[in-house]
Each structure stands twice: as structure tokens, then as C-alpha cells.
Amino acid sequence: METVSLQNNGSSSPAGLRLAALRFTAGFQVIARNRLALIGLVIILVGLFAAVFAPFLVTHDPFEINISERLQGPSRPHWLGTDFMGRDTYTRMIFGARTAFLVAIGAVMLGALLGIPIGMFAGYFGGWVDMSLMRVMDSILAFPGRLLAIALVASLGGGLFSLYLAIGVSSIPSFARIVRGAVLTQKEKEYVEAARMTGETDSLIMFRHILPNCLPPLLVRLSLDFANAILTESSLSFLGLGFPPPTPSWGLMLKEVSPFLELQPWAAFFPGLTISFMILGFNLFGDGLRDVFDPRQYDR
């Protein structure tokens, strides 16, 4: 043991690695014990898998039009039927996952990247910094999130970038508020004082010391915001404000087949179900995370 440690002085001694592995399994067990969270996690992972490996999972070309096979129900060649132009619904749903995750990840990242520092500065420095930053956040919050997104997209035009901006901007305040709240409690803790005593700068203290301790509420928010972003993207596309028509997007698929609901209910059924399931997955996982991070849970 002695000799091994003398040779290996990096941050990962064998004992350290073993400890890390132990902690990881312990953490996973806590999540796994929460059934609903586990279901949520599975749904998310399935969605993510579909998004990443879309081209390998599909049976058709998502843009292939076949008018003679339009508005079919589920069948062997078309597992989930076809839409009003005869495109394969299953294929488009899988590619739709790609669209949904692309928008959600980008938008949530934008929201988090702007919202977290804003909340951090507001909470850490307090006083007029807090006042002015949070009033700006309040004024964004004053608009209903989806309405703001619609207004932004309407003025910026459709496409990926404006969707990022529209959905991202409306999620900035929620991140800012969550982080600010967490920072307000964390900055009074003595470890912050101890860090200051060690001679660390404000920025190091904020982002290296305080931020990791704000993660629990932040991760919950992140998960719920993913659901929100997917839903907003679907709504916008449904309203015709999101992606332009040939793009495989769940909201757009719903919209395109909605006039034919009486002719072929299946065509709208599956995209609608997918959206619901995805949202459910993120919400269940978010709620599960909240339970896991609640220390009172450990007694059970």
C-alpha cells in the first residue's frame, strides 16, 4: 500500500477510485429506490437514445412522400401508420426526438448559462446588485413563459436559433431565482468563511465552492425545464411558429394531421402520446430527484 501510494501521486489512488465507485452506486440506489423517478429516467434515456441513434432505428426516410399510402393506420410496413402525405409516422417520431432534444438542450443551456450567473451574483453580492438583477428577472417573469416565447419567435422568425432564444430567455428567471435562493442559504455557511480565510477570491468562492452546493435544487429545475422546453417547442411548432413544415417535429406532426382527425385518428394519436410521455418522463425524474435530495428521505 505504502509503495503504491508513493508512486501514484495523482488524484486517483486505487483506494480513491474504489471509494468513488462505492459512492456512485450508493447514489444510484437512492434514485432506483424511487420507482417513479426510475420510470422517468428510463423514458428520458429511451428518448435520448432515439435522438442520438435515429438513423439506425428507423424504417423509412423521414422525408419520403408516398401519397398512395397516406393516412394509414398501424401496419407491418408502417408500424405506427402514415401521415397525410404518406410519410412513415414511426420514422418521423424518432427523428422528432432528435429535434425535441436539440431544442431542449440548447434552450435549457442558454437559460442556465445566463440564469445561473445572474442568480449567483444577485445572491452573493446582495444589495443593489441583487435588486437590479432580480427586478429585470421579475419583468421577464411578468410575461407568461409560453406567451413570451411566442412573441419572441414571432418577431425573430422560425428556426433553431430563434427557438433557442425564445425558450431560453423565458427560462432565465427561473434559474436565476433558484440559484439566488440557494446562494442566500449557502453563503452564510461557515465553509464560505473558511474559503475566504484561505485567501480565495470572490469568483472562486462563488463558482467553485458555492455552486456545487446549489446543485440539488438546480438539477430538479433543469429536469423540469427540459420538459417545459420540449412542450414549448411542440406548442410553437403546432402553432406554426416553430420549425417549417418538412422538419420532423412532434408538434408539427400533430398540427399537420389534425385536419384529418376524423379520417385517421392514429395519425395524431402517436405524436400526441410521445409528447405526453416525454413530458411525463422529465417531470417524474425531476420530482424523483427532489425527493432524493431531500435529506428527510433517507430515514425511510
Partner 1 sequence: MDSGTSLIRGNTIVNMNSNTPLLDVRNLTVEFQLKQGILRAVNNVSFSLREGETLGIVGETGSGKSVTAFSILSLIPSPPGRIANGEIIFDGSDLLKKSDKKMQKIRGSQISMIFQEPMTSLNPSFTIGNQISECYRIHMGDSRKVARERSEEVLSSVRVPSPKTLIDRYPYELSGGMRQRVMIAMALACQPRVLIADEPTTALDVTIQAQILELLKELQEKFKMALIFISHNLGVVASLCNRIGVMYAGSLVELTDKKNLFTNPLHPYTQGLMQAIPRPEYRDKPLTAVPGTICNLLDPPSGCKFHPRCYKAKEICKTESPELETKSASGSVACYFPGGQK
Minimum separation from the CB atom of position 221 to partner 1 (A) = 18
**Using the rule CB under 8 A, is 299 a contact of partner 1?**
no
**Using the rule CB under 8 A, is 295 a contact of partner 1?**
no
Question: Which stretches within the chain are classed as H helix?
Answer: 2-7, 14-33, 35-52, 54-57, 89-125, 127-141, 145-156, 160-186, 190-197, 202-204, 211-238, 250-257, 265-293
**Using the rule CB under 8 A, is 262 a contact of partner 1?**
no
**Quick check: 282 and 230 in contact, CB under 8 A?**
yes
Rounded CA Rg of the chain: 23
Work out which of 3, 7, 11, 25 binds partner 1, going by CB under 8 A: 11
Minimum separation from the CB atom of position 16 to partner 1 (A) = 4
Minimum separation from the CB atom of position 30 to partner 1 (A) = 14
User: Among residues 153, 291, 179, which one has the least CA distance to residue 232?
Assistant: 153
The count of chain residues that interact with partner 1, using the rule CB under 8 A, is 28
Minimum separation from the CB atom of position 104 to partner 1 (A) = 27
With CB under 8 A as the contact rule, which of the stretches 10-18, 63-71, 84-92, 177-185 interacts with partner 1? 10-18
Residues 6 or more apart in contact with residue 245 via CB below 8 angstroms: 252, 256
Neighbours of 207 (CB within 10 A): 14
Residues 6 or more apart in contact with residue 10 via CB below 8 angstroms: none
Which residues in 128-147 contact partner 1 (CB under 8 A)? none
Dihedral in degrees, nearest 10, Cα atoms 149, 154, 155, 161: 70
Minimum separation from the CB atom of position 27 to partner 1 (A) = 12
Which residues in 180-209 contact partner 1 (CB under 8 A)? 189-191, 193-201, 209
**Quick check: 64 and 253 in contact, CB under 8 A?**
no
**Using the rule CB under 8 A, is 21 a contact of partner 1?**
no
Q: x/- contact string, 150-179, with partner 1 (CB under 8 A)?
A: ------------------------------
Q: Which is nearer to partner 1, 103 or 205 (CB)?
A: 205
Count Cβ atoms within 10 A of the Cβ of residue 164 and give its class: 0-12 exposed, 13-18 middle, 19 or more buried.
buried
Minimum separation from the CB atom of position 190 to partner 1 (A) = 4
**Using the rule CB under 8 A, is 30 a contact of partner 1?**
no
Q: x/- contact string, 208-237, with partner 1 (CB under 8 A)?
A: -x--xx-x----------------------
**Using the rule CB under 8 A, is 26 a contact of partner 1?**
no
Q: Which residue has the cell 433553431?
A: 160
**Quick check: 110 and 146 in contact, CB under 8 A?**
no
**Quick check: 122 and 113 in contact, CB under 8 A?**
no
What is the contact surface with partner 1 in residues (CB under 8 A)? 1, 5, 9-11, 13, 15-16, 19-20, 23, 127, 189-191, 193-201, 209, 212-213, 215
